[in-house]
Amino acid sequence: MNCTNQGGRLGHRLAVSILAGSILGAISGSALAAKPVTDADIMNDAATTSDVLTYGLGTEGRRHSPLAHINADNVGDLVPAWAFSFGGEKQRGQESQPLIHDGKMFVTGSYSRLWAIDVRSGEELWQYEHRLPDGILPCCDVVNRGAALYDNLVLFGTLDAQLVALDQDTGKVVWKEKIDDFKGGYSFTSAPLIVKGLVITGVSGGEFGIVGRVEARDAKTGKVVWIRPTVEGHMGYLNGKENGITGGAPNKTWPGDLWKTGGAATWAGGTYDPDTNLIFYGTGNPAPWNAHLRPGDNLYSTSTVAINPDTGKIVWHYQFTPNDGWDYDGVNETVAFDLEQGGSTVKAAGHADRNGFFYVMNRENGKLMNAFPFVDQIDWAKGVDLKTGRPIETGMRPGNPAEATDGKKGSQVFVAPSFLGGKNWMPMAYSPDTKLFYVPANEWGMDIWNEPIAYKRGAAYLGAGFTIKPLNKDYIGVLRAYDPATGKRVWEYKNKAPLWGGVLTTSGNLVFTGTPEGYLKAFDAKTGEELWKFQTGSGVVGCPVTWDMDGEQYVAVTSGWGGAVPLWGGDVAKSVKYLNQGGSVWVFKLPGKRMAAN
C-alpha cells in the first residue's frame, strides 16, 4: 500500500500522532544527564531493541533488528510520527544513519553538522555546526554518514579531517583532534567505530594521493593509541612507538616511490567481530587511477584488512582487485555472519565489492570460500579463481598513454561495472532469519581511458577520464536478495534511478531501503514483494534504522538527494538531474495504543 494515497485518513493520523508526540515530548524533556554508553552496551547493540548505538545496528554490520511489531502483514498501515528539517541552504547529500539513545536521536548532516533531537516529539535539543575552513577537498559531495556513541559522548568526523567529541546533553565540545591536513586532500566522512573503549577511524582522500590508514584513539580523551597505514611500506605505531612496517618493506608491490602517495583510503568505515577480535576495514583504489604507472598488486589497496584492535597489526588481508585500473576500490563493508556448511558452522564474512563480485570469506583467516557476480554485466573479469582468490581478468583495461601516438590519451574501453560500482558505499543487510543478504546494486558501465599524470599535493590525482552510462533503458538500481551459501539470486526489485542508500532487515519479515525518487520502501524479505512506500520529498540515500519505545516500534531514515552520482555520474547524472535536494529525517510508526490513548 502507498501511504501517500491514503488521503484524509493519513492526514488525521499524522495530526494526532504529532500532537501525541508533542505532549509526551513536553512532559519527558529531561534535565537528567545521559545514561553512559558502555562497551557492553555496544557489544549487545544487535540484540537490544530500545536503542541504536552503532552504525550498522551492531558492530558486525548486519543491519538486522529482531523487532517484529511492524511486519509484512501490517506495514501497509505505517504513518509518519514526526519529521525534522535540517534547515538552511546546506542541503546536498544526506547519507547519515541516525543513532538512538536515552530519549535522544543523534543524526549528522551535510557540511559536518550534528543534531540531538527529542525522539518522542521531534523537537531539536541542540545543534553542532562545525566551522569548516575554505579550501576543503571532499571527493564525492559534502556528506557525513553518521556518528558513534560512548560514555556521555557523541563522536563524529568532519570534512576538514577532524574528529570531534560532543557532550550528549549539551552539544558542547569535550575534545577535538586533527586527523590530518585537509590541504593535502584528507577528509573524513564515515561513522567512527567503537571497540573496547577505542574510537576507530579511517581517512578519505584517495583521489588526492593521500596514504590510507586506520587509527585508534582513547574515546574519552582523543589520545592516539595506534596507527596502521594501509599502503605497503609505511610504518605503524602503538602508544607512540614504531609497530612494524605495513607489508614488511617499501614498494614490494609498488614501483619506485609511488607507494608514498599510494591512496588506499579507508573512507567507508569498518566493522568489528568480537568472536575473532578483528576489525574489518576496506581500502580504496591505489593512486593514481592510471595503473600503467604502478605495475604490481599495489598492496594493500582494494582490500579488506583484518586488524587486531589491541595492537593495530594486520592479521590477514584479502585483495579484491589487484593492480586496480578501474577505481573499483574495496572499501565496502565486510559483514560477519555464521554460515552452515557441511554440517558445521563457519565464521564467515560477506562483502559485495564495487567490482561486481560478492565474496564469502572465512573471517578467522581470510580464506576465500565463494565468489559470485551480483550484477548482470561484468566485463573486466570472467570470474574469481577459488583456489588462488585472484580474479580471472579478460584484459579489458584502458590503454597506456605512453604508447599513444600523441602521448596524451591511451586507448578507450567500455567496461562494466562503472567505477561507481556494482555496489558503492551504501551498506547491505543480512538477515539471520532468512539467511539472505540484501544488496543495493546498480547496473551501469563506463567509457574509461588513461592520461598522463604527476602528483601534486592537494590536487586531483587520477590520470584517467571516464563517462558513466546506463546498461538498461528501464532501470539502473536493483535491490537483490542472495543466498551466500550458493550464490543463488532469490529475488530482485528494479528501480529506474540508481540505488544509493542503505538497507535494513527486521524479524517482521521486512526489508527497508530508500530510492533517489524520494521513497522509503518496505519489501517482503522472502519474496521481494513491495508492501509499502512513503514519499519523503527528496531522494533517500541514508540508512534506515528501527527501535522500540513505550511499547511501539519506530522506523527512521534521513532524506536528501546527493552523493557521488550527481557529481560524477556522466550520462546517468544527466538522467536524474530533475531530482530535488533536501535535508530532513523522517520517523514512522503504526497507529496504535498511543493514538488511542490520546
From residue 44, how far is each of 51, 65, 103, 232, 430 by CA, in Å? 10, 12, 18, 35, 17
3-state secondary structure of 18: helix
Cβ-based neighbours of 506, under 8 Å, separated by 6 or more: 64, 65, 66, 67, 68, 70, 71, 512, 546
Rounded-to-integer distance, Cα 314 and Cα 298, Å: 16
CB 86 within 8 A of CB 113: yes
Rounded-to-integer distance, Cα 446 and Cα 441, Å: 16
From residue 513, how far is each of 382, 426, 544 by CA, in Å? 30, 10, 7
Strand partners, 35: none
C-alpha cell of 235?
Answer: 610504518
CB 228 within 8 A of CB 245: no
Rounded-to-integer distance, Cα 317 and Cα 595, Å: 52
Give the active site residue among 327, 329, 353, 548. Answer: 327
- Helix H or strand E encompassing 372: strand 368-373
Q: Is 474 exposed, middle or buried (0-12, 13-18, 19+ CB in 10 A)?
A: exposed
Domains in the chain, CATH or no CATH each: 3-597 (2.140.10.10)
pLDDT in tens, the chain (598 residues): 444 343 333 333 333 344 444 434 443 444 468 899 999 999 999 999 999 999 999 999 999 999 999 999 999 999 999 999 998 777 889 999 999 999 999 999 999 999 999 999 999 999 999 999 999 998 889 999 999 999 999 999 999 999 999 999 999 999 999 999 999 999 999 999 999 999 999 999 999 999 999 999 999 999 999 999 999 999 999 999 999 999 988 889 999 999 999 999 999 999 999 999 999 999 999 999 999 999 999 999 999 999 999 999 999 999 999 999 999 999 999 999 999 988 899 999 999 999 999 999 999 999 999 999 999 999 999 999 999 999 999 999 999 999 988 878 999 999 999 999 999 999 999 999 999 999 999 999 999 999 999 999 999 999 999 999 999 999 999 999 999 999 999 999 999 999 999 999 999 999 999 999 999 999 999 999 999 999 999 999 999 999 999 999 999 999 999 999 988 888 888 888 888 899 999 999 999 754 333 2
DSSP conformation class of 140? S
Query: 560500482: which residue's cell?
Result: 421
Q: How many CA atoms lie within 13 A of 552 on its CB side?
A: 20
Strand partners, 64: 505
C-alpha triplet 530, 534, 539: angle, nearest 5°: 105
Rounded-to-integer distance, Cα 512 and Cα 71, Å: 11
Q: Is 34 exposed, middle or buried (0-12, 13-18, 19+ CB in 10 A)?
A: buried
CB 539 within 8 A of CB 559: yes
Mark whether 327 is an active-site residue. yes
Rounded-to-integer distance, Cα 265 and Cα 287, Å: 10
Cis peptide bond prior to 417, omega within 30° of 0: yes
Which of 219, 108, 104, 54 has its CA nearest to residue 153? 219
